[in-house]
């Protein structure tokens, strides 16, 4: 984390506060990926309303938890970070549960799966993944 903060040229006087915020946010990054995965999946099948609803719930919950954690529990910057993580967890888990309940295609099936097919997918998509990574990092 120190490397990232130094690359971002974080002012020395803000390092402690930044660490208090970034650590909890990094622990909850899985929930951001979870929400985005299912939001894009739902949009791909033509449903853009449900991701918006879960995003709205997350935003409202984040506001309420920010007030409670920061002002009520006196957690400071870490409280704001944990409020964000909890709100993202609710939206990520909520949209995942919704998607699995409403989209039968997402339910796990073991029939017809093979490691050779998985390897074929990985090999075919590796170049695209590398290209996207390079584009994101400049």
Nearest to 94 by CA among 61, 66, 45, 68: 61
Q: Which two tokens stand for residue 47?
A: 């449903």
**What's the sign of the alpha-carbon dihedral 91, 97, 100, 103?**
negative
Exposed / middle / buried, residue 103 (Cβ in 10 Å: 0-12, 13-18, 19+) = middle
pLDDT at position 137 over 70 = no
What string of H, E and C letters represents the secondary structure of 116-133? HHHHHHHHHHHHHHHHHH
| Mean pLDDT of the residues in the chain | 87
Q: What predicted TM-score, i.e. pTM, was given to this entire model? A: 0.71
Q: What is the pLDDT of residue 136?
A: 65
Q: What is the pLDDT of residue 111?
A: 67
Tens digits of residue pLDDT in 81-126: 999 999 999 999 999 999 999 888 776 666 666 778 778 888 888 8
pLDDT at position 138 over 60 = no
């Amino acid at each position: 984390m120190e490397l990232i903060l130094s690359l971002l040229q974080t002012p020395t006087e803000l390092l402690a506060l930044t660490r208090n915020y970034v650590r909890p946010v990094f622990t909850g990054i899985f929930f951001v990926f979870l929400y985005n995965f299912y939001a894009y999946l739902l949009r791909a099948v033509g449903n853009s309303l449900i991701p918006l609803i879960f995003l709205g719930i997350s935003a409202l919950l984040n506001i309420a938890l920010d007030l409670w954690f920061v002002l009520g529990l006196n957690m400071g910057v870490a409280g704001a970070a944990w409020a964000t993580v909890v709100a993202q967890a609710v939206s990520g888990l909520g949209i995942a549960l919704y998607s699995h309940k409403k989209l039968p295609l997402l339910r796990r099936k073991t029939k017809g799966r093979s490691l050779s097919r998985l390897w074929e997918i990985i090999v075919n998509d590796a170049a695209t993944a590398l290209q996207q990574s390079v584009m994101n990092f400049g």
